[in-house]
A and B are shown apart, each in its own frame.
Chain A
């Protein structure tokens, strides 16, 4: 036993640094987020207050609006990016001229930092002389959209503007992941479809899309997590309050504003826990619903 332990000592040395850093920078802060959310600071002393902050949050209109906004922006984004990137990736997969050049160009915004892209877009979408409105004016569009200055739920408002930005940034990445999935579809399936006399569209709909299920699962799960923790581009465009009229405020922006502008770390921690629970729930839901279909289709076959 002792000899065995001695032999494995070197492995513990290999594992230890990662776990020490992990405990200090991941496990401890995560635990602290939960602990802080149940306390209240009274004259530099922490006092236990139970679920008070959660009650405060769930009756707080600003927080609920941020929550709703995060979900709204996330759903619209995913509904747009997944079909669009799937179609574009399928097309690119069939293109024989310069496919790699296009892949590299579409990926360009991913290399650029989110804040730089957001900064450039704040000028691109400027209502009077921005690139987009300048071109729209040439096309005779009148009145011109206000984009980032319009907080209402309209197709040319601030939410639409940041959704265009997000889709523009993410397209290359989603296409890349779909292309990896497309290349993994077994060629025999396509051969069989051709033998059965299926046309290209039919093959795409009946063979390609069902075969991409793992890719869909992956993109839904990571896309949901990214959408729920969206921060940088919106902070750059609308500040911590999500200007105009809080139309761009998300949970993480609310969390940042509460912690670092209102100095209420406890309330901010409670909002972090709520975000955590939502992310966990959505991930579990995505896994379950997709995997359930997987199992039922297997038992059915």
Chain B
């Protein structure tokens, strides 16, 4: 999901929050199904990518960082992608 699709201009704030929540629920269930596959590295990479995407969605939408000062958005997303990047390196 891109920043453009995250911020649909014609939907109400509540509607956008509901859309984000439904997406997060769907991705959580998808990661549970994915984890049942026996694909090792590829599966774990996909599960980790889904977790990073969900984290980004929580940070931008629920935390409201899409409208926050850039330094704060960079700090939180930097934390998220830094940690996920390190975990990805340990998977290889």
Is chain B a partner of chain A in the same complex? Answer: no
